[in-house]
Structure 1
Amino acid sequence: MAGRGFIRDKLEIKFLILYITARVIEPIPFDTVLDLTLCDDAIDYFDFSECLADLVKTEHLTLSEEGLYAITEKGLRNSRICESSLPYSVRLRCDKNLAACNRKLRRKSQVKASVTQRPNGTYTAAFSLEDDMGSVMDLKLAIPREDMANMLAERFRKSPERLYSEIMRVLMSSDPEEDKDQ
């Protein structure tokens, strides 16, 4: 144990890892577990790595082939029993970080953009936006170059609501052909 903090031993690090993995909305990679666990200055990388590996070995967590960690039923039971032994200030800081992490994870699952090559050498940029009720928008565009398609996909990921609003504005505005007749 290195720095100044409230976590004093490896057992408490394990409690903290279980606390975190019980509250994330989907399995997460090593780096995310690490970032969320380092909310206390007393935790160092090597102790964390050892504790995470132990939790997988003891079947409190699973590690998927994609490198994602998820809590098991056994881990959930033990997390509920042990969470009150974590210092309150650590839990508060952890909850704040978890809320931000879960917002990012939810956003990532609701906003999707992909680029695929078509048989004629052009590309398709596919965009989808979902909310808690389901699909809000699905859009596919034919794009002549891969770099352009990737740029559009990145822009969509950053601001899908803007594209949705612009499409709605254009579709809801009066038809230019109707305006000419009046």
Structure 2
Amino acid sequence: IILDDEVFFLREKFISGELAYLIDSTDSLPQLKEVIDETDVGVSPLPSGAAGPASPLASLDVIAFNRAAAPAKIQAGLRLAEFLTNASQQQKLVLEETGHIPVNRTVTIRPRLSEAGSAMAKQGATSIAIPLDYVDAFNQIRRVGDEAYLQALEGDSDSIEAAIYLFHEAGQSYYPRIYAIHVF
């Protein structure tokens, strides 16, 4: 196991065959399939636990509309958005292996059509989107979480201490006026 927060370093180790698995963004899947035989790259959804299926956090590409645009242009944009997010187009997006998880939760992909696409659609159905207003706070929490996770895995910190620290930092990122977190 190699623990590092340098994704590019880990990706290179994976590509060269030095790592058996890589935890990375779905965005990297097309790049990986360009340099590694497609049969040697797989995707698996996060496992379920006692509380049910995993609900990973997902960042989104957005379709934005300008309020100053003419109503006819906004209506045309809305029709385009409806088209791009319908089940058929979302399924096509996944099958083209663009690395995007479908935002339409009704999309299913049969594993025989695409094992990676099937896994990504299943994961997408349980993912939680980060609201745009909280992206900066989320990125800060992710940085702190990555550091706390590495410290716990390397034995530099107890996992409970790491979780409490992350919980505290999350509170500071989302609610800066919270000064103390009490653990019972």
**TM-score > 0.5, shorter chain as reference:** no
Q: TM-score, normalised by structure 1?
A: 0.27
The structure with the largest alpha-carbon Rg is 1
Larger RCO (alpha carbons 8 Å, 6+ apart)? 2
| Bigger strand share | 1
